[in-house]
Structures are given as structure tokens and as C-alpha cells.
Amino acid sequence: MSDVDGMEGVVGGSVALSAPASAVVVIGPGVAGEESVAVWHVSPQGMPVGAWIYQLDRLLVSRDEARRLLTLVERRSIAAVVPGELDEVLDRVTKAAGVEAEKWWTAQLFSPLQCFADIVSRRVAYDSTVSVAKRELKNVADLEWSRDLTAEQVVGFDDLRSLSKVSAVVGSTVVGSAALTAVGVLRWLVRQWVETEGVKRRSYVRDAHGEAEPLPPSWLASVRAGMTTRLPL
């Protein structure tokens, strides 16, 4: 496992493994170009709060190393920037750790693209509710979003990064840079979600759609799934 340059300026402090935070897991070239796994812990506010980089070949031959990585993700929701890639690596690491729990992570995966779709869907629903209220109530103002978001704007993760105006991070490792870039996109998604759910300050919107939720539905479901996972480590 390698040190991560500049972590003091990026990471706000350690987080208990039982905390309901999320993990960004990325596979890519490490310090010397070797295939590596980067794990970044992300707070519910989208802030990075812990980071680790492991060499994949060492993970696959060291039961202890494999188990250490699993402890970092077993009780957390996991951002799946490249879902198929994560499935393969988590399967191999789980076997290397000597853990018999097939695809234990499935319910814990969430897609940043689906989170964006959740946000767009909610805004459409809230706009519709406000339109109805304008016909039935007095002094109802239109919703004014800081940015207009549509499903057609995003096809892949690069589209989402571009829309969020998050610059691709360039650091000492490709894998670490990719992880930090993903963290930046998640932070932007959280901000868009907070703005979206803020509409529920209007009582008629809250009555129609329920209390404000802390995260997009697909992300929140993965957080709840992660909090129930217990691997025999």
C-alpha cells in the first residue's frame, strides 16, 4: 500500500468504519504504473475523508491485505463508475481474503449516472406539483433552479463530469487522480440534490412528496444496504 501525496490537504480526518459514508473504488495504474485499487471514503456531504491505494497483485496473494481492503468497503455504499470492472476485482479480492460471500456488494453499488437521473426525475415531479399549485393557490412562485438539468445531457461518466464542471484531477498516480475526480463529481451531485430537496420547504410540495431525503434514492438505498453488511473478517 502506498502513501497518497498531499493527503493532509485533502482529507479532513479519519472516519470510523461503521459510519454511514460511501466509498469510491477505482482500478488503474499506481505509482509505478502497476495495476492498483484506490479507495476513497466520501462523507454524506460529498467530502473526501480517507484514502488508500493498494497494488492489485499484492491484494491477490496476501490474505491480510485483501481483508484490509474489504474492511474499507464492506459496510459502505460503493460508487460504481465502471460497474463491471468493480464486480471482477471485488470478486477476486473477496476470494483472496478467504471470504465465502458471493457478490455481497451488489446491493451496495450505486451509479453516479443513476443519481443524476434521480435528480432530474425529482425536479420534473416538483415542477409538476408547483404547476398544479399555481392553479389552485395564490402567490405560488415558479421554481428557479441554479442550472437546468435534463436526462439528455448525460450519457456517460465523462458527460457528467463535464456538466458538473469538475476538472479531471492530475496527481501522482492515475488511479488516485481518477478517484479524486469521481469524488468531485459526487460532491456536485450532492449539491444538486440539496437544491432539489430544498423545494420541500414549500409545505404543499412536502405534502405531495414527503419529507426531504439526504441523498438521491439509488445512493441512499446503497448506503442502507451497506450498513447491514457483515463479512466474516
Which domain, by its residues, includes 50? 7-110
The reply to whether 93 and 136 lie within a common domain is no
Give the pLDDT confidence of 56-107 residue by residue, as tens digits.
Answer: 999 999 999 999 999 999 999 999 998 788 999 999 999 999 999 999 999 9
Name the pTM for this structure. Answer: 0.88
**Burial of residue 89, with CB atoms counted within 10 A of its CB: 0-12 exposed, 13-18 middle, 19 or more buried:** buried
The reply to whether 21 and 88 lie within a common domain is yes
Give the pLDDT confidence of 4-51 residue by residue, as tens digits.
Answer: 333 223 222 322 233 457 999 999 999 999 999 999 999 888 888 999
The reply to whether 103 and 156 lie within a common domain is no
The reply to whether 121 and 96 lie within a common domain is no
The reply to whether 151 and 198 lie within a common domain is yes
Distance CA 72, CA 67 (A): 9
Q: Is residue 222 part of a domain?
A: no
Q: Is residue 226 part of a domain?
A: no
Dihedral sign of CA atoms 201, 145, 124, 77 in order: negative
Give the pLDDT confidence of 150-175 residue by residue, as tens digits.
Answer: 999 999 999 999 999 999 999 889 99
In the numeric block, which cell numbers belong to residue 35?
495495476
The reply to whether 198 and 137 lie within a common domain is yes
The reply to whether 106 and 45 lie within a common domain is yes
Q: Band of the pLDDT at 1, cuts 50, 70, 90?
A: very low
The reply to whether 19 and 67 lie within a common domain is yes
Which range is least confidently modeled, 8-22, 118-132, 184-198? 8-22
The reply to whether 143 and 206 lie within a common domain is yes
In the numeric block, which cell numbers belong to residue 95?
476470494
Last residue of a domain, one of 110, 133, 148: 110
pLDDT score of 6 = 30
The reply to whether 70 and 161 lie within a common domain is no
Q: Is residue 196 part of a domain?
A: yes
Task: Report which secondary-structure segment, H or E, holds 189.
Answer: helix 174-197
pLDDT score of 113 = 97
The reply to whether 55 and 127 lie within a common domain is no
Q: What residues contact residue 20 under an 8 Å CB cut-off, 6+ apart? A: 44, 76, 223, 226, 227
The structural domain count of the chain equals: 2
pLDDT score of 12 = 29
In the numeric block, which cell numbers belong to residue 212?
426531504
Spell out where 56-126 has E strands. 77-79, 109-110
pLDDT score of 16 = 29
The reply to whether 90 and 139 lie within a common domain is no
